[in-house]
Amino acid sequence: MNPAAVAPEASLVRQLVTPEGVALPIALGSTGDRIAAFLADLLIMAAALVVLTIAVALVGAAIGSKSGEVIIVIWLAGFFVLRSLYFTLFELGPRAATPGKRFMRLRVVARDGGRLGAEAILVRNALREIEVFLPFTLLAASGAVGEPVDGVL
């Protein structure tokens, strides 16, 4: 069955009234579609992170760096830039959607059906950093951070 032919659930449909007085039905994305789009974007970001890791390792080997700390700092900076700019740049673009959102036929819109402004997109993505990436970063680091040092936490 064609997913586009399936009628959206009634609670996911909103009426948008244009300045000319025409009521247009707007279908909101379901929770499943939003999760699938986010997971697709995470897979794309993971692939980009693998490429970044290989590039940083090759550069480190080429310059003969004895200290892995510089390589790790460069990798962490690249990962931060990737996860910070990925969503923002795609949502600011002409399609107002990341590749995952385009795959799921979603886009980012304001309540009136128009484009979100740059300020709203920046705030939206700053909150994503706080709500999603920061907790996962803390969970990933909890094994090293939670260890007592000389009996003191």
Q: Checking phi first, is residue 14 left (phi over 0); if not, alpha (psi -120 to 50) or beta?
A: beta
How many helices (H) does the chain have, and how many strands (E)?
A: 5, 2
Instruction: For residues 129 and 120, give the distance between their C-alpha atoms in angstroms, rounded to a whole number.
Output: 14
Instruction: For residues 80 and 78, give the distance between their C-alpha atoms in angstroms, rounded to a whole number.
Output: 5
Q: Which residues of the chain have pLDDT under 70?
A: 1-10, 65-67, 143-153
Q: What is the per-residue pLDDT for 1?
A: 42
pTM of the predicted model, to two decimals? 0.72
